[in-house]
Amino acid sequence: MKVAFVGAQSQRTISRALVETAHSLVWSTSSVSDALRLFGSAPPDVLLVSASLSEMSPAALTRAVLAKANCAILLLADRDAQRVSEVYEAMGAGALDVVAMPRIDEQGRLSGAEPLLLKLRTAGRLLGRASQELRKVSGSSVAGLGLVAIGASTGGPQALLTILAQLPKNFPAAIVIVQHVDREFSEGLASWLRDSSKIRVDIAREGAFPSPGLALIAGTSDHLVMTSGGALRYRAEPIEVPYRPSVDVLFSSLAEHWPTPAVAVLLTGMGRDGAAGMKKLRELGWHTLAQDEASSVVYGMPKAAAAMGAACKILSPLAIATELINHVR
pLDDT for 162-208, tens place per residue?
Answer: 999 999 999 999 999 999 988 888 999 999 999 999 999 999 999 99
Catalytic, 273? Answer yes
Catalytic, 195? Answer no
What is the pLDDT, as a whole number, of residue 128?
63
- What is the residue-wise DSSP string for 169-201? TT--SEEEEEE---GGGHHHHHHHHHHT-SSEE
Question: What residues form DSSP beta bridges with 98?
Answer: 75
Counted residue by residue, the chain has a size of: 329
What is the pLDDT, as a whole number, of residue 137?
39
Catalytic, 180? Answer yes
Cα distance between residue 226 and residue 320, in whole Å: 23
- What is the residue-wise DSSP string for 107-170? TS-EESHHHHHHHHHHHHHHHHHHHHH----SS-TTTT--EEEEEE-TTHHHHHHHHHHHS-TT
Q: Which of 153, 186, 197, 253 is catalytic?
A: 153
Half-sphere exposure of 12 (CA within 13 A, CB side): 7
Q: Which of 28, 45, 50, 180 is catalytic?
A: 180
**What would the mean pLDDT of 306-315 be, rounded to a whole number?**
97
Q: From the CB of residue 65, how many other CB atoms can be counted at a distance below 10 Å?
A: 24
Q: Which of 182, 222, 273, 292 is catalytic?
A: 273
What is the pLDDT, as a whole number, of residue 142?
54
Cα distance between residue 33 and residue 55, in whole Å: 9
Above 70 in pLDDT, residue 26?
yes
Please choose, from the candidates 316, 299, 308, 303, the residue with its C-alpha nearest in 3D space to the C-alpha of residue 281: 308
Encode pLDDT of 263-283 as tens digits: 999 999 989 999 999 999 999
Above 50 in pLDDT, residue 234?
yes
248 band by pLDDT with thresholds 50, 70 and 90: very high
DSSP state of 57: -
DSSP state of 7: -
Tell me if 298 sits within 8 A of 133, measured CB to CB: yes
